[in-house]
Amino acid sequence: MNGGDERGEQLTVAVVGASGFAGGELCRLLTGHPNFELVQATSREYENKTLGYVHPNLRGVDVRFSSPEELESVDVLFASTPHGVSMEHIDAFRDAAGTVVDLSADFRLNEEADYDEWYDGHVAPEHLADAAYALPELGREKLEGADLIASGGCNATATMLALKPLVDGGVITPDDQVVADLKVGSSEGGAGGGAASSHPERSGVVRPYAPTGHRHEAEIRQELGLSLSFTVHAVDMTRGAAATCHAFPSERVTTGDLWDAYREAYDDEPFVRLVAGGGGVYRYPEPKAVAGTNYAEVGFELDPENGRVVAFSAIDNVMKGAAGQAVHAANVALGLEETAGLEFQGLHPVGSP
């Protein structure tokens, strides 16, 4: 882990697309970060309005939305824009800032051909080779000193955190069958999520919305080397993504093997908590327990009758799946204390996450 920035360095920061849910969380985190000074937050729709006009939890922040066409020169730029926007403006972003952190899908994949397959192509493929995938738990070496960072997809993040120990520990291989089932909150649809995300339509549902072919599969294949079956359900919560993954290893494993694999992967990780059985009400990873935080809970259960391993994870999709991951990655890239600005432990009891 990084030892922190002994100089107490102050870096100027801009957030492009600050009126969305992830953009608002970025502003919240950055205003409380010991090394960052939020100097610009952009929004076409809310230009000249205060941050608190859109994000009521930020009413005390003395920053107004400005036009994204008038970028200030800053040390770090976070882009929290819909897919397709950052790739069109990446030259301007990189001209404005020494470090760019993109929260969209525009730079998550390494190959232009993958964007042709999973998205709608790419207009700036020359930048793909420069981008470092943001999730620090997958490896920090590429992030250190990176000047273009691609924050991972929330569903991919939850799934990979559940499965990474099984891959690293040799419990599963690319030839083994893996099925991932995701339950996700309405904030995944964004601030303009449309009719399917409206409260009357969303309330009380467990609705499959991506039974097959979810775009986040591409990240999992790239980062873990796994080809898996992937299904996503919309459920009645605001924040959260919960992954339940069923893996069928070709070789029999024991519960002890699983404990060894998960401890080896995560014992030294500041934002991953191992929750596997035990007592009490919250016996397995639960989105409600990490709402508002950059923490991930992971866990497992072994089905000895058929050798199935059930791997779980739970994250706040707007935090660990977006803004928190982006700030964590920026901390690593810039040599700051990894946990800076991200120490919030969450609340209990709390309502729907």
The catalytically annotated residue of 76, 154, 290, 296 is 154
Annotated binding residue at 229? no
Annotated binding residue at 20? yes
User: What is the amino acid identity at position 160?
Assistant: M
Sheet of strand 241-248, all strands in order from the earlier edge strand to the far edge: 206-210, 229-235, 177-184, 241-248, 308-315, 296-303, 272-274
Distance between CA atoms of 346 and 38, rounded to whole angstroms? Answer: 23
Annotated binding residue at 19? yes
DSSP state of 308: E
174 φ/ψ angles, rounded to the nearest 5 degrees: -60, -20
Distance between CA atoms of 227 and 174, rounded to whole angstroms? Answer: 7
DSSP state of 151: P
Asked if 209 contacts 233 with a C-beta cutoff of 8 angstroms, the reply is: yes
Annotated binding residue at 110? no
Residue 10: Cβ within 10 Å count: 13
Distance between CA atoms of 326 and 317, rounded to whole angstroms? Answer: 12
> What distances in angstroms separate CA 237 from CA 203, 246, 257, 287, 294, one per listed residue?
8, 23, 34, 9, 18
245 is catalytic: no
Catalytic residue IDs: 154
**What residue numbers does the annotated binding site cover?**
19-22, 317
**What residue numbers does the annotated binding site for NADP(+) cover?**
19-22, 317
